[in-house]
């Protein structure tokens, strides 16, 4: 019995009368599963990276055409925004549902029958499954329209790169052309068992910033360091000192990470002190205030330590993602909806945040909403569904097409109920 079927059985066995619309959603997800899993496998076979995702864009458009759903192409090159209006629109309310569809530059090693046909490219983060999940909801919502309002289906490219597809769609005027009252997204999560749904209020995923620092001194002979300004010494002081920002300047309740991942300097000669050293790394934080503080303090420490050694420091920072910060009311709403889909005991509302990044946070800067994790791990430790994201042996669990599709569909019906359903 599938997890969705189990949830329906549990709902039917509870002391409450089962909701007929929820029963209808479960049935619809079962009926469309073969079609949508085939779509997912086709996407998996033909991965394309940021702003090149023509195969995914064409497949989405083909399905939307089949289901007579209105849509616009060309957002951020390959992105699509579809619109479904309910049986009524007296609420004048609009919510957004988002899925990403870009792949990664990873050589697949799964040996699955639908493994990637593109050398060096793979859907190693499950965006193929996210797209199939949103398509499952699109099909159901277009057939039933059991809601009072409008839903926007955002199929987004380029989540995996610094030149974010979410940011580009917003820059192109998405929120002016398609204003939304709230927005929701999901991500498969191999650390959770399939059937679990996890979320939290506040920072769910971290901001991502990269930094490059150049320490310039005065090179010379290794036997006469007193005649030089050694940038190696300066860089090592800085690398160790900036970690004190995390351990001594931030509250333990405001998590952040600074990782220096590259240090480069010298000519390779054993007796030459170089003129300059470069190091680089990444900064992660769960809120904007902490993010800005850490960046400012890294630059201050670099300049102060360099100056104290008669060297100079040049710092460059580049933002990749904003923190994904969930709205409290939206989390409470998502929790209630998820409980209808997988049962109360399978919903986690205080899940630990992840210091990885997600460009869904760009949407949440402008619109209240919530991003949740859908568990996908199985009892088989060797299953590709249990592999970590970005792993070359990872595979999305197709069971999530039903769970995620039902979750998205119920979000729409519950947030914009028809008058007859609300009575």
Which H or E run contains 245?
A: none
CATH number of residue 231's parent domain: 3.30.70.360
Query: N- to C-terminal Cα distance for the chain?
Result: 33
Q: How far is CA 17 from the centre of its chain?
A: 36
Distance in angstroms (rounded) separating the CA atoms of residues 56 and 40: 10
Cα dihedral sign, 410-411-415-416: negative
Distance in angstroms (rounded) separating the CA atoms of residues 403 and 19: 17
Residues 317 and 327 in one domain: no
- Give the pLDDT of residue 13: 41
Helix (H, G, I), strand (E, B) or coil at 57: helix
- Rounded (10°) angle between helices 328-342 and 399-415: 130
Helix (H, G, I), strand (E, B) or coil at 238: helix
DSSP symbol at 415? H
- Give the pLDDT of residue 11: 46
- Of the candidates 321, 339, 372, which is a domain's last residue? 321
Distance in angstroms (rounded) separating the CA atoms of residues 199 and 191: 13
Nearest to 211 by CA among 314, 293, 318: 318
Residues 84 and 14 in one domain: yes
Residues 219 and 193 in one domain: no
Residues 344 and 313 in one domain: no
Residues 344 and 305 in one domain: no
CB burial class (10 A; 0-12, 13-18, 19+) of residue 388?
Answer: exposed
Residues 148 and 227 in one domain: no
Phi/psi at 290 (5° precision): -65, -40
Domain count, the chain: 2
- Give the pLDDT of residue 2: 56
Exposed e or buried b per residue across 200-233, where buried means at least 16 C-beta atoms within 10 angstroms of its C-beta: bbebbbbbbbebebbbbbebbeeeeeeebbbbbb
Distance in angstroms (rounded) separating the CA atoms of residues 245 and 250: 6
- Of the candidates 321, 355, 390, which is a domain's last residue? 321
Residues 255 and 196 in one domain: no
Residues 327 and 253 in one domain: no
Residues 13 and 157 in one domain: yes
Residues 227 and 303 in one domain: yes
- Of the candidates 321, 348, 382, which is a domain's last residue? 321
Q: What tens-digit pLDDT sequence spans the chain (423 residues)? A: 555 555 545 544 443 445 888 999 999 999 999 999 999 999 999 999 999 999 999 999 999 999 999 999 999 999 999 999 999 999 999 999 999 999 999 999 999 999 999 999 999 999 999 999 999 999 999 999 999 999 999 999 999 999 999 999 999 999 999 999 999 999 999 999 999 999 999 999 999 999 999 999 999 999 999 999 999 999 999 999 999 999 999 999 899 999 999 999 999 999 999 999 999 999 999 999 999 999 999 999 999 999 999 999 999 999 999 999 999 999 999 999 999 999 999 999 999 999 999 999 999 999 999 999 999 999 999 999 999 999 999 999 999 999 999 999 999 999 999 987 655
What range does the domain containing 412 cover?
3-204+323-422
Helix (H, G, I), strand (E, B) or coil at 287: coil
Nearest to 392 by CA among 158, 139, 67, 108: 108
Residues 43 and 161 in one domain: yes
Structure tokens at 149: 């309002």
Residues 75 and 198 in one domain: yes
- Give the pLDDT of residue 12: 40
CATH number of residue 154's parent domain: 3.40.630.10
- Give the pLDDT of residue 1: 52
Which H or E run contains 297?
A: helix 288-308
């Amino acid at each position: 019995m599938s997890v969705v079927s189990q949830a329906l059985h549990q709902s039917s066995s509870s002391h409450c009368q089962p909701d007929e619309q929820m029963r209808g959603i479960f049935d619809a997800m079962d009926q469309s599963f073969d079609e949508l899993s085939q779509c997912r496998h086709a996407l998996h076979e033909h991965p394309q990276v940021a702003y090149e995702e023509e195969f995914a864009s064409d497949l989405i458009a083909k399905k939307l055409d089949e289901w007579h759903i209105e849509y616009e192409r060309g957002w951020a090159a390959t992105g699509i925004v579809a619109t479904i209006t309910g049986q009524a629109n007296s609420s004048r309310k609009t919510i957004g549902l988002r899925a990403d569809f870009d792949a990664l530059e990873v050589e697949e090693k799964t040996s699955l029958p639908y493994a990637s046909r593109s050398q060096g490219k793979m859907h190693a983060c499950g965006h193929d499954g996210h797209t199939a999940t949103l398509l499952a909801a699109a099909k159901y919502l277009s057939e039933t329209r059991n809601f009072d309002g409008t839903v926007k289906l955002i199929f987004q490219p380029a989540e995996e790169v610094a030149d974010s597809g979410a940011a580009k769609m917003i820059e192109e005027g998405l929120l002016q052309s398609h204003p939304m009252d709230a927005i929701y997204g999901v991500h498969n999560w191999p650390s959770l068992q399939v059937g679990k749904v996890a979320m939290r209020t506040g920072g769910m995923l971290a901001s991502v910033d990269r930094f490059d620092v150049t320490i310039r001194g005065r090179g010379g002979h290794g036997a006469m360091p007193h005649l030089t300004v050694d940038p190696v010494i300066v860089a090592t002081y800085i690398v160790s000192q900036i970690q004190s920002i995390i351990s001594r300047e931030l509250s333990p309740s405001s998590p952040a990470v600074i990782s220096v991942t590259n240090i480069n300097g010298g000519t390779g000669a054993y007796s030459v002190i170089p003129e300059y050293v470069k190091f680089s790394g990444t900064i992660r934080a769960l809120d904007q205030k902490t993010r800005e503080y850490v960046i400012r303090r890294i630059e201050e420490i670099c300049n102060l330590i360099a100056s104290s050694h008669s060297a100079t420091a040049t710092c460059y920072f580049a933002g990749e993602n904003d923190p994904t910060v969930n709205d409290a009311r939206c989390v409470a709403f998502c929790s209630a909806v998820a409980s209808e889909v997988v049962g109360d005991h399978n919903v986690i509302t205080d899940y630990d945040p992840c210091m990885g990044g997600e460009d869904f946070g760009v949407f949440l800067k402008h619109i209240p909403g919530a991003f949740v994790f859908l568990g996908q791990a199985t009892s088989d430790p060797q299953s590709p569904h249990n592999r970590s994201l970005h792993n070359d042996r990872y595979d999305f669990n197709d069971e999530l097409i039903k769970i995620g599709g039902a979750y998205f569909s119920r979000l729409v019906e519950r947030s914009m109920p028809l008058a007859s359903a609300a009575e």
